[in-house]
A and B are shown apart, each in its own frame.
Chain A
Amino acid sequence: MDPQYDYVLKAVEERRVRLIRLWFTDVLGQLKSVAISPAELDSAFEEGVHFDGSAIDGFSRVQESDVIAKPDPTTFELMPWADGGSTARMFCDIFNHDGTPFTGDPRHILRRNLASAAKEGYGLFTAPEMEFFYFADGNPNHPPELLDSGSFFDLTTSDVASDLRRRTITVLETMGIPVEYSFHEDSPSQHEIDLRYTDALTMADQIMTFRLVVRELAMEQNRYASFMPKPIAGIQGSGMHLHLSLFDENGNAFHDPDKQYGLSDVGRAFTAGLLRHAHEITAVTNQLVNSYKRLVNGFEAPVWISWAQQNRSALVRVPVTKMDKPSSTRIELRSPDPSCNPYLAFSVIVAAGMKGIREGYELPAELRQNLAELSPADAAKLGVTSLPASLSDALDAMERSELVHEALGEHTFEWFLRNKRAEWTDYKAHVSPWELQRYLPSW
């Protein structure tokens, strides 16, 4: 038996684990779980766990719906906050009955895209800045009520939110998810926790764990934590800025001390790939109707497809790094939001960046001016286009994209489009309070 399996079996015995949660993710990015007892673990490793996938979004197929979940022993961790610490979790890879990977499994889709980059000698490392809100009322069906009135970097040591954030960080670190920084964000009740970089597959797993830990710990206190991109109109929404770099056998492939901002030709071409394919991948990195209410001018979210070193209105930034730390040269993609499916988002990001490298895309000129004030006429003069303005526009761009089709694979590409079109149709037929307020008195 693989020593990794043996290791997990011994840990389960020694630590008296009573329940093992087998986790996987559906196409929309929702965490799913099958619980097994320690006695079933041996066979779960050898044969996997069979289940009917037809009830799970993106898993259903016309003919066969039975799939097999195989736990990945490298992801075994205890869940220190749950059931007095007697529960552990592992992420799973999903297979068909004939042993082939199930094409609707987001983790498999990311593995496939990372393997294709690895074939060319590159490994993708990512570090997200996770933004979210804490709301005072634990019931998400009630209107969101702010928990504090603090703002950026405020030292609100006594409030509930700071305690919650501190406890969350302790749990994350115990689970091997190192935190780089954490602070109170710009808007009241908004918080940010930045995770330390790791390889993209591990990071996607960590983001899934992160969202669960943040929400469950808030729920323990009868609060509600939300990763909705724009929960409150008029104040900043929640983004998931992504720091990205590629490593090859010589180290950081994005670093070249002789180039502008220390960004190598590989880094420039990767960035050019992200910019050129930004329209096509946005439906995946920003997958909700609500995502597009964050991507508007005036709230530090990107609107125009541009890059710059310092510009906070740019889509891609090249953060300043210390000269003696070549390993930290990276780019920051600012459009994704924390409601995305991280496996699929990383898949389309690495596909777009690698295409830029493979085909030697030229990076357009840096745009340093504040783009928030850019008029459509100025934009046309500069040759800058904007990100899709709505989920519908983003889906149109995705549907035409060979790149996204290839990155997600036929099954998931089709299913995602169908599901999201339905979401848009639903939304389009909805009459909002804004419309009633605005039109009812006059018409």
Chain B
Amino acid sequence: MVAGEQQAIFAVFSDPDGDAGGVEVIRTLSMAGFGCIEVGSASDLIRSKPANGWAGTIVAIAEDDAKAATAWGFCRDSRKLDEPVMNTLVLISGSNLPELAERHEQFDDFIIAPFHPSEFEARLGHMLWRSGQAPGPETVEIGPLALNLETYQATLANKPLDLTYMEYELLKFLALSPSKVFSREVLLNRVWGYEYYGGARTVDVHVRRLRAKFGEEHAHLIQTVRSVGYKLDQTR
């Protein structure tokens, strides 16, 4: 196909019967000359994919907790597809801003609802420019540990570290917020992302497995914070 000046098309995820701001998003996108398709799940991203691909996604986070969780689930899933959809702009109310703190890997920019159309347009423009320019971080390094986010390779003291997918995902999650303590429940919810029998115990099992693979010398990289949870930290 000949690449030409094609209309950039965004996927819009919003609460269909709510007031999260989906209607304003669609109006603003079309005023700004962008195309948009409403989606209800990450699999819709595959089904309704435009010929020239998605320019990005706009996700309206509802006030309601359960609906907000679904929206965040969509953000996470859309980045785990075979062809991940990046450029996620999150529309969020001022009172929900704290939710952003632990989810930096799930969106690229945010805007507070209700929003001003020209700010919305400016943010979209900047997000598109940035994605065309600089790629995201390719490697994360914490002390002797290095993760290549492109190839999934992990090394410890320059030696390859062979991890299973879930071990890798857990380690990546901890490594993206070094020194920050996460509870077992948060880790389960954010890394596994679904109800898992055995619950928080699963997190303990994976942490112990990671420590076994680190070996005695580096096992302390993942620290247990008593009655709170775990953190990745290179200080002893």
- Whether A74 sits at the interface, judged by CB under 8 Å, is yes
Question: When the two chains form their complex, are residues B164 and A198 in contact, meaning their CB atoms are under 8 A apart?
Answer: no
Q: What are 29 A-to-B residue pairs whose CB atoms are below 8 Å?
A: A3-B80, A3-B165, A4-B165, A7-B152, A7-B165, A7-B168, A10-B153, A14-B152, A14-B153, A14-B160, A15-B160, A73-B165, A76-B165, A77-B164, A118-B197, A121-B197, A122-B197, A123-B198, A172-B212, A174-B213, A176-B167, A176-B212, A176-B213, A177-B212, A199-B198, A202-B205, A247-B197, A251-B201, A252-B201
Taking the closest CB of chain A, its distance from the CB of B215, in whole angstroms, is 7
Quick check: is B190 within 8 A (CB to CB) of the other chain? no
Whether A251 lies near B165 (C-beta < 8 A) is no
A window 247-271: CB within 8 A of B: 247-249, 251-252
B82 interface hit (Cβ, 8 Å): yes
- A123–B201 contact, CB under 8 A? yes
Complex contact B164–A74 (CB within 8 A): yes
A406 in the interface (beta carbon within 8 A) = no
Any chain B CB within 8 A of the CB of A75?
Answer: yes
Most chain A beta-carbon neighbours within 10 Å: one of B82, B162, B204, B211: B162
Interface residue B202 (Cβ < 8 Å from any Cβ of A)? yes
Q: A174-B213, A247-B201 are in contact. Are A76 and B164 (CB under 8 A)?
A: yes
Q: Is B164's CB under 8 angstroms from A78's CB? A: no
Instruction: Flag if A199 contacts B205 (CB, 8 Å).
Output: yes
Among residues 1 to 46 in chain A, which have CB atoms less than 8 Å away from a CB atom of chain B? Answer: 1, 3-4, 6-8, 10-11, 14-15
Given the interface pairs A118-B197, A199-B198, the reply to whether A178 lies near B212 with Cβ below 8 Å is: yes
Q: Mark A97-128, 1 if CB is under 8 A from B, else 0.
A: 00000000000000000000010011101000
5 smallest A-B Cβ distances: which pairs? A123-B198, A123-B197, A173-B212, A178-B212, A7-B165
Check if A247 sits within 8 Å of B166, measured CB to CB. Answer: no
**Nearest-Cβ distance from residue B162 to partner chain A, whole angstroms:** 5
Q: Is A196 an interface residue (CB 8 A)?
A: yes
Residues of B in contact (CB 8 Å), total 27
The reply to whether the CB of A65 lies closer than 8 angstroms to some CB of chain B is no
Map CB proximity to A onto B59-83 as digits: 1 under 8 Å, 0 otherwise: 0000000000000000000001010
CA distance A4 to B209 in the complex (A): 18
Q: Which of B190-231 contact A (CB under 8 A)?
A: 197-202, 204-205, 208-209, 211-213, 215
CB distance from A257 to the nearest CB of B (A): 16
Interface residues in A361-409 by Cβ distance below 8 A to B read none
> How far, in angstroms, from A177 to B202 measured CA to CA in the complex?
14
CA distance A344 to B206 in the complex (A): 24
B151 within 8 A of A: yes
A residues whose Cβ falls under 8 Å from a Cβ of B: 1, 3-4, 6-8, 10-11, 14-15, 73-78, 118, 121-123, 125, 172-174, 176-179, 196-199, 202, 247-249, 251-252, 327
User: Is the CB–CB distance between B166 and A74 below 8 Å?
Assistant: yes
Q: Give Cα distance in the complex from A426 to B212, angstroms.
A: 45
- What is the bound-complex CA distance between A90 and B163, given in angstroms? 13
Given contacts A121-B197, A125-B198, A176-B167, 5 further A-B contacts (CB under 8 A): A10-B153, A76-B164, A174-B213, A176-B209, A179-B212
Is A178 a contact of B197 with CB atoms below 8 Å? Answer: no
Contact partners of B208 in chain A: CB under 8 A: 178, 196
A75 CB contact (under 8 Å) in B152, B153, B164, B211: B164
A247: B residues at CB distance < 8 A: 197-199, 201
> Which residues on the A side are within 8 Å of B211 (C-beta)?
178
Q: Does the CB pair A173–B153 fall under 8 Å?
A: no
Q: With A and B bound together, what is the CA distance between A199 and B204 in angstroms?
A: 11
CB neighbours of A197 from chain B (8 A) = 205
Closest to A119 in B: B197
Q: Flag if A178 contacts B198 (CB, 8 Å).
A: no
Which A residue's beta carbon lies closest to that of B166?
A74
With beta carbons under 8 angstroms apart, the residue of B164, B166, B201, B212 that contacts A327 is: B201
- For B80, the chain A residues whose CB sits under 8 A away are 3
Q: Which residue of B lies closest to A203 (CB)?
A: B205
Name which residue of chain A comes closest to B196, CB basis: A123
Evaluate contact between A248 and B168: CB separation under 8 angstroms.
no
A111 vs B153: C-alpha distance when bound (angstroms)? 31
Closest residue on chain B to residue A169 by CB atoms: B212
Contact B165 A74 (CB under 8 A): yes
Q: What residues on A are CB-neighbors of B202 within 8 Å? A: 199
Which residues of the partner chain A approach B212 to less than 8 Å between Cβ atoms? 172-174, 176-179
A288 shortest CB reach to chain B, Å: 31
Q: For residue B216, give the distance in angstroms from its CB to the closest CB of chain A.
A: 9
> Would A14 and B151 count as touching, CB distance under 8 A?
yes
